[in-house]
Structure 1
Amino acid sequence: LRQLLVAPLVKEDGGLALVISNPFDINALEQAKKILKIKDFELLVALREDILKLIDYHYGHLQYFEAAPSLEILPEEAPSEEEEEEGIPEDQESVVVQFANYLLEEAYNRGASDIHIESLTGRRGAQIRFRIDGECIPFQTVPYQMKRPLISRYKIMAGLDIAEKRLPQDGKIKFRTRTGKVFEVRVATIPTIENNEDVVMRILGGVEARTLEEINLRPEILEKFKKILEMPYGLILVVGPTGSGKTTTLHAALHYINRPSKKIWTAEDPVEIVQEGLRQVQVRHKIGLTFARVLRAFLRADPDVIMIGETRDEETAHALIEASLTGHLVFSTLHTNSAPETVTRLLGMGIDPYNFADALLGILAQRLAKRLCPDCKEPYQPTEKEIEELLFEYGTHPLHPLTEEEVRKATLYRPVGCPRCHQTGYRGRIALHELLIPNEELRELIVKAAPVHEIRETAMRNGMFTLKQDGIFKVLAGETDLKQVRAVCVR
């Protein structure tokens, strides 16, 4: 460790950190990880002298050490303006390249959906955060003299103009890991104050389609969903806010019906999951290749199944209804809060209510809640207050009321925290669902453009569970907790 200039620390919150003199020395990092047999850690930068003192004082007594209060974690000394203009030395250019690659691979291995490089004001560096399971988690801070070279490196990789710092830019990187896995990264640069730039990178692809059994549908909802997927034609919608797993669910549905006898076309922006057997098209708005235009082209291409990544406008909505009424099974998504609200949203776009009522097979609304870490979650019996809260949040259901006895018998789980979940108590996310399948009564309400509450009440009499009710069932099953359900569900 003295040769590598790396020291392990246990922080006050229990998390593990590695303190290093040169955060761009990838070889030192990899060797330290092997020596210490660790995978998850926060990377900190300290002066060489402080690291050596720490190793001399503590090593040999403890495997990991408590951070000494006197140890000050400092950014490396910022260069002068003249040094900055000259750029970094040639022997450090390869270090920047290595670190840029390391950052992408580390984010991918940790299951991050996004990488945020946020330029700090003054003569400071940049903060790097990973979005994991819906939350931004600090990863490390880049020294000031490496900030611009690192951002420039990503701009070069994405084919952007490195000289343009005043305007937002966007591009893509195709990246291969050392283990041979290939994924795409969508890069967006945004100018910030003091002539700085932020970079946000979305990790795309490299993900296989899941099966319907893997997306957390409860058995009764799964059975109903499979039935509408087997229909020869009609419209199926998956709805929810950005980042609620709509694309994953759509591809799981397509995976279920994907067979050689079917011609399946998809239009996506971007293409995040690649499936064999699907003919997938990347929408390009800059050249006029919109969802509506691609959909019209699909109708001339002998489709059995069509998937449109998002219904954003009236033109696309009309085309979806037309396609689903002319013998095609059509899938799409909308940004709506619930299944009943989707009906009023589409009617508000001006589509014909009679055609919509005839075409609609089902609407699946969903949210993603944090999943309790299976390695450290702790069982307990609910208190009287928790029993009351669970019954209140569940509310009433005309067909499936939740009784106090059911809740009292349930074993609940609370988050604890362990190295596998980075001491958070949660690992991964679980989907909550609300499936509306129209019967004749609901179709009549659609034709009449009935209010949302009336559609919701009728759908529940027809067997629909609300998002929050599905969440309560998953709390009682020990998969998540009430706090997380409340965080993502209004009703």
Structure 2
Amino acid sequence: MNIDFEWPIPPHFERVSSPAANNSDAPCIVSLNDGHKKVGNLLRFDADASVIEFHPERAADNVRIRFSSFKSIRLIHPIELKRLELPLVAGTREGSPIPIKQKCTILFKDGERLISDTVGFVPREIGLFLFLVSVGNNVLRWFIPAEAIASYQIGDKLGQMLIDEKIASADAVNAGLEKQSELRASRLGEYLQQKQLVTKQQVEMALQRQKSMPHLKLGEVLMQANLISDEQLLQALKMQAQNRKMHLGEILIDMGVVSKDAIKRILAQQLGIPFVILAKFQFEPDLIRAVPGDLVRKHMVMPLYRTSTRMVVAMENPLASEALQALAFYTKLAIDPVMASKADLITAIAEFYGAQGERQSIAELVSELDDVNGIVASQIDNEVITESDNTLVRLVNKIILDAYEQNASDIHIEAMKGNEPTQVRFRKDGVMIDYSNIPAQFRNALISRLKIMSRLDISEKRRSQDGKMNFEQFGPAKIELRVVTMPTTEGLEDIVMRILAAPKALSLDAIGLAPPVLEGLKKLAVRPHGLLFVCGPTGSGKTTTLHSLLSHINTRDRKIWTVEDPIEITQKGLRQVQVHAKIDWTFATILRSFLRADPDVIMVGETRDPETARTVIEASLTGHLVFSTMHTNSAVESAVRLLDLGLDPFNFADALLGVLGQRLTRKLCTACRQSYTATDEQIHMLAHEYCFETELQSADIIAEWHKRYAGNGNTLTLCKAVGCEKCDKSGYKGRLGVHELLLNTAAVKEKIHAKANVPELLQTAIREGMRTLKQDGIDKIFQGLTDWEQIRML
């Protein structure tokens, strides 16, 4: 395939034909994000899929590389470009052309810069095509993906060019810039509107006039006003065709060919979209109460009034489709947008919904609920607060936002019987802490609101339900929560919400593994087949570790299937399947299907029963690399537990690569931790714990600690918790991973064949170089990361 057919040519140029023009070869250099460079042939450039197909030199197979994985492509063969002769625009001076060569500066997101000269460029949504100066009229073609660019500038600013070419004086340019600043600083309403719209009747009349006007397209109007050229419109329409979600006006603004104020002026004057002065408008209080403040702030809109079928809202950009769709979805009404200035919108939203970032305390919200309840309760003898009440919505949002901002891992809503208040508690750094109490009369509405947000059945109270909440749909933060309801006594329900980790997998180097464990895992992760388990209790970070492993090997030449319940972290390149036990779509059933779906790597969310365990073993023995988790206390115990499930010890020993055991423990606050010299008694106690149930000798371990941690002196230093404002006086902030890695060496395999018990297998593993969870934790004590109070509980 000839790559030249898809490579653009800069405006005002044409390519000079050459004998090599139709050559299907496209030698190139691909610069990857990790700093490596690959030389080979570019076979395919797929802009729609954001991927290239590339054949590296001295490689047998082609590879597919996503745009997100490389910084640039440079085609090695230069081409010759010829500048087209364009007619002079009236009023321009002959003999003063804009220079062909322009300075080009690209700042990459990793901090690297590309500085060169270019004869032209073609910006696209997918990235930037550059034509850098080579020899004579030849140019080198580069492509830089948009994901790699932090910013770029091509050419001098227009004013400087006018001065350099003596087309305008410096005084004239400065005067123009001052005038431009004045226009930008002036309020939109001062030059957009001759007649101010301040009432519902005026807005309705203006909307009717707008609907009776001939239908004009924004691009046509901008061209009629001489704000853009035909070529610029055509380029913008091509970019819009590639991404239908972007509005034409936004594309033109991003291209730099028209300003935001010019777009607004055209919308109001030429397209007839009404412009409303919010400071004088009479809002409908019921509508303000019906549309939540989180939605209003997120999209910068202000509801004005509604009819039986539609709602009129003010916004800065009345063509912002995402905002209009969100409002229509929430209100189930058609949305008529009108324009307002940004300053007026900020003022109105702050007045009716509270200022951005300003949140009431939990006590104030509860008090407000009491007030509303008290007003209406005098007329109605039952609970009057419902799950859609505006104050309750803000209360629920505050609970979630506070938990997220305090780095809590879980939120516990505990409904108490009788008139006892509902307790809200957070789990922070593995410890439960009290947050607030909610009066008993609001517990049903509180539970119902959380169920609605999680898309659960609000009428089902007898059985537990599992769900997932995308908080971004309801509030101003991008938070995902895993939600479980649990029936309790007297027909009540508790809710526990886990705040999920960032949707992107962490790097394997970023999860706190000790160097020997990290090195061992990396070696196991690239094996062609076998079985690797990650074990630990609930909440110990097993899923995060598994996805870090997958991220390490997630390349285009591997097919990776995952089966999870639920899917917490997503990665591009993985094919992820959700368990649905109600339709018998279980771990074991899905695993058997995977074996017919040509996998290279399989990740199983949890091995919890004999059927899944046997299928996992079968998958690993038939040439697949399998990762899974288990809820066990240690790596050695996991191996013994699997044999207890009835697995054949020889098949299991042949399949097993290793078991990673892990825990999360509290980390000392780095702002207030205090170092001190350890006493001999403390050192001997730690050494005794380090060697407990092993054949290690305390004296040898103490000597090793002095060698590794004492530095130039002869004393060992420990750190202790103190407490400060940053850690809420607890002395601890954040959590730390503690790990042990059992490798299936020949000696360990023999013990598995013999069905050895836990102590026997543990001694063999330690002789083979394994460090236990407690040993890894004690090493982290000497590193100043935690203390004995946390490690003693392992």
> Normalising by the residue count of structure 1, what TM-score does the alignment of the two structures yield?
0.80
Aligned counterparts of 2:380 and 2:792: Cα–Cα separation in 1: 49
Task: Single out whichever of 433-442 and 95-104 deviates more from structure 2.
Answer: 95-104
Amino acid at match of 1:402: I
Asked if residue 476 in structure 1 is aligned to residue 782 in structure 2, the reply is: yes
Q: Give the structure 1 partner of residue 720 of structure 2.
A: 414
Shift of 1:207: 3.3
Selected match of 1:98 from 394, 399, 415:
394
Conserved? CA contact 1:158–1:187, under 8 Å: no
**1:216 and 2:522 equivalent?**
no
Q: Does 1:204 align with 2:500?
A: yes
CA distance in 2, matches of 1:46, 1:249: 39
Q: Tell me if structure 1 keeps the 8 A contact 2:392–2:446.
A: yes
User: 2: CA distance between counterparts of 1:220 and 1:164?
Assistant: 50
Following TM superposition, by how much is the alpha carbon of 1:484 offset from its aligned partner in structure 2, in angstroms?
Answer: 0.3
CA distance in 1, matches of 2:695, 2:715: 20
| Residue of structure 2 in register with 1:444 after alignment | 750
Amino acid corresponding to residue 645 of structure 2 in structure 1 = M
Alpha-carbon shift at residue 420 of structure 1 (Å): 1.6
After superposition, give the CA deviation of every residue in 1:169-207 in whole Å (9 maximum; x if it has no partner): 4433332164452524323142334x5332222233643
- 1:90 is displaced (CA, Å) by 8.0
Within a 5 Å distance, the mapping from 1:266-285 to structure 2 comes to 266-285=562-581
Write the mapping of 1:23-422 to structure 2, written as runs, cut at 5 A: 27=354, 30-31=357-358, 43-44=362-363, 85-88=381-384, 93-176=389-472, 178-179=475-476, 181-193=478-490, 195-204=491-500, 206-395=502-691, 398=696, 401-403=700-702, 406=706, 409-422=715-728
Partner of 1:6: none
Q: Is the 8 A contact 2:387 2:448 kept in 1?
A: no
CA offsets per residue over residues 301-341 of structure 1, 9 Å max, x none?
A: 11110000111111111111111111111001111211111
- Pair 28,333 (structure 1): closer, same or farther in 2 beyond 3 Å: same
Cα distance in 2 for partners of 1:90, 1:255 equals 44
Report the AA paired with residue 701 of structure 2. Answer: L
Closer/same/farther in 2, CA of residues 191 and 168 from structure 1, 3 Å limit: farther
Aligned to 1:463: 769
Amino acid corresponding to residue 419 of structure 1 in structure 2: E
Counterpart contact for 1:165–1:197, Cα < 8 Å: yes
Greater RCO (CA < 8 Å, at least 6 residues apart):
1
**Alpha-carbon contact 1:205-1:271 (below 8 Å) kept:** no
Q: For residues 148 and 292 of structure 1, do their structure 2 counterparts lie closer, same or farther at Cα, with a shift above 3 Å needed?
A: same
Q: Which has the larger displacement, 105-114 or 217-226?
A: 105-114
Alignment correspondent of 1:64: none
- 1:423-454, Cα deviation, whole Å (9 max, x unpaired): 11111111111111122121111111122212
Does the 8 Å contact 1:192/1:198 carry over to 2?
Answer: no
Q: Which one is further off, 77-86 or 103-112? A: 77-86
Following superposition, the deviation at residue 47 of structure 1 comes to 11
Looking at structure 1, the residues matched to 398 and 464 of structure 2 have their Cα atoms a distance apart, in angstroms, of 25
Structure 1 distance, partners of 2:761, 2:753, is 11
- Whole-angstrom distance in 1 between the partners of 2:362 and 2:385: 23
Give a deviation string over 1:369-426, Cα, whole Å, max 9, x none.
1111111111111123211211111115659941156276332111111222121111
SS of match in other structure, 1:402: helix
Post-superposition Cα deviations, 1:243-265, rounded to whole Å, max 9, x if no partner, equal: 11111111111111111111111
- SS of 1:480 mapped into structure 2: coil
Measured in 2, the distance between the counterparts of 1:398 and 1:83 equals 77
Shift of the 84–198 alpha-carbon distance from structure 1 to 2, 3 Å rule, reads farther
Look up the SS of the partner of 2:740 in the other structure.
strand
1:283 Cα shift?
Answer: 0.9
- For 1:440 and 1:91, how far apart are their aligned partners in 2? 61
Letter in 2 for 1:444: E
Report the secondary structure of 1:115's partner residue: strand
Distance of aligned partners of 1:163 and 1:359 in 2 relative to their CA distance in 1, 3 Å threshold: closer
Structure 1 Cα separation of the partners of residues 628 and 422 of structure 2: 39
Q: Tell me, yes or no, if the aligned pair for 1:283 and 1:289 is still in contact at 8 Å.
A: yes
Secondary structure of 1:427's partner?
A: strand
Contact 1:167 1:191 in 2 (8 A): no
For residues 465 and 212 of structure 1, the distance between their equivalents in structure 2, rounded to whole angstroms, comes to: 19
Paired letter, 2:358: Q
Task: Tell me by how many angstroms 1:479 deviates.
Answer: 0.6
**Partner residue of 2:101?**
none
Larger Rg: 2
**Which is further off, 108-117 or 130-139?**
108-117
Deviations 1:108-138 (CA, angstroms, capped at 9, x unpaired): 3333222111123432321111112222221
Count residues in correspondence: 429
Once residues 430 and 781 of structure 2 are traced to their aligned partners in structure 1, the CA distance between those partners, rounded to angstroms, is 19
Counterpart AA for 2:630: L
Moved more, 437-446 or 392-401: 392-401
> Once the 2 structures are TM-superposed, how far is the Cα of residue 28 of structure 1 from its aligned partner?
8.4
| Shift in alpha-carbon separation, 1:356–1:187, aligned structure 2, 3 A | closer
State the secondary structure of the residue aligned to 1:31.
coil
Structure 2: distance between partners of 1:314 and 1:378: 49
In the alignment, structure 2 segments of 5+ residues that lack a partner are 1-351
Stretch of structure 1 that moved more, 329-338 or 392-401 = 392-401
Judged with a 3 Å threshold, the aligned counterparts in structure 2 of structure 1 residues 281 and 443 are, in CA distance, closer, same or farther, namely same
User: What residue in structure 1 maps to residue 179 of structure 2?
Assistant: none
CA RMSD in angstroms comes to 2.9
Q: For 2:386 and 2:521, locate their aligned partners in 1 and report how far apart those are by CA, in whole Å.
A: 59
User: Which amino acid in 2 is paired with 1:315?
Assistant: E
Structure 2 distance, partners of 1:91, 1:434, is: 47
Contact 1:239 1:333 in 2 (8 A): yes
CA distance in 2, matches of 1:285, 1:145: 36
Q: Is the 8 A contact 2:530 2:625 kept in 1?
A: yes
- Alpha-carbon distance in structure 2 between the residues aligned to 1:160 and 1:310: 24
Q: Which amino acid aligns with 1:187?
A: V
Query: Residues 373 and 385 of structure 2 are in contact (CA less than 8 Å); yes or no, is this contact kept in structure 1?
Result: no
SS of the residue aligned with 2:608?
coil
C-alpha distance in 2, partners of 1:179/1:92? 18
Where does residue 739 of structure 2 map in the other structure?
433
What runs of 5+ residues in structure 1 fail to find an aligned partner?
Answer: 1-24, 34-41, 49-74
- How has the CA–CA distance of structure 1 residues 102 and 347 changed in structure 2, closer, same or farther, with 3 Å as cutoff? same
2:200 aligns with: none
